[in-house]
Amino acid sequence: MDESELQQRIDALLAEHPPASTDRLDFLHARFDAGLAWVHFPEGLGGLGLPRSMQPVVDKALARAGAPDNDPQRIGIGLGMAAPTILAFGTEEQKRRYLRPLWCGEEVWCQLFSEPGAGSDLAGLATRAVLDGDTWTVNGQKVWTSSAHIADRAIIVVRTDPDVPKHAGLSYFMLDMHDPGVEVRPLRQITGEAEFNEVFLTDARIPDSDRLGEVGEGWKVANATLSSERVAIGGHAFPREFGMVTSVAKTWRERPELRTPETHERLMRGWVDTEVARITATRLRQKLAAGVPGPEGSAMKLTFAKINQQLSGLEVDLLGDEGLRYGDWTMRRPTFVDFFGQDAGFRYLRAKGNSIEGGTSEVLRNVVAERILGLPTEPRVDKDIPWKELPR
């Protein structure tokens, strides 16, 4: 299918379901069924088997026509992490059950990976799942879970075999967040918000039919999810002078009295780093169009965190006493991070989390070193030891 044929399909969707007179959810259902949700997905699953590079053709044409979108910020975890994993590892029944309501925003997803006792060592997690007939009983705790307070479903990694080395004893499931064994509590952050949550699992039940991959393949499936997450964070199409540098450059232009040679040098360094990241993200998307996400997504996420922290610090320094102001310490429960609807103090504080979420910068440097630069891997003394024998 070329671009003109794709445009014909878009025109047919708009003719049969005029955005002005069609219910929002009905339009999204029709768009999914027409293969115009994510064109690189297979036919019948919201796509047409086309290159990713053709998705902007659809998005721009529908935006011009006033068509509703699927509120991508609200369902970002489902779109960027759950959906690629379900597509790669799910059964046909799972794909048809979950992908349509996920893309249309009828079911919000969250990610239950991190744990208080595991930190950056995801493979050391302790949440335990035991099979009882055709249902798994899950007990444990997860932490730093975005959107858990509004989520309907979760992707979760648990330990199903403590008698084997830690990477081998994991399995991957899809959890109903409305199960009576699931409790969600807010985590108040340095910004005053509670964007993240901790989740307690007490005899939560997961049907074996909601397992992704084979039992014991959780590490493999989780790595695919994490690659998709890092691409979602750092692999977007960006305009020139995007992100954190936008607000700093705006302040620089509007407040000449704040300028100094030192802040000028820092701004230029940040602007150049941002432009390099933008061009690199373009190359990453080109690679994605030809295959699957690789370790380059880790490099982009690492760069994203560094630039955000440097530029948010510059903005506070540039504003002087004004940069110390913080407008609102009210306990909010946002569903996504809004860097630019807040003041400079919020941006500075929130950017501190960028080097932790989505994989810590320390871990990502190891990924870049080992998988991109080909450097020797770090020695692992726990490689062949059963998980239950490891000190915790």
Residues annotated catalytic, as ranges = 229
Among residues 207, 225, 200, 209, the alpha carbon closest in space to that of 148 is found at 200
CB 244 within 8 A of CB 339: yes
CB 324 within 8 A of CB 316: yes
Task: Outline where the chain has alpha helix (H).
Answer: 3-16, 24-33, 55-64, 76-77, 83-89, 92-103, 218-234, 244-254, 261-290, 296-319, 344-351, 361-367
CA–CA separation, 287 and 285 (whole Å): 5
3-state secondary structure of 56: helix
CB 51 within 8 A of CB 285: no
CB 351 within 8 A of CB 132: no
Q: State the CB neighbour count (10 A cutoff) for residue 288.
A: 20
- Long-range contacts made by residues 22-29, C-beta under 8 angstroms, separation at least 24? 24/68, 25/104, 25/106, 27/67, 27/68, 28/68, 28/70, 28/103, 28/104, 28/105, 29/100, 29/104
* Close Cβ partners of 30 (under 8 Å, ≥ 6 residues apart): 13, 16, 17, 22
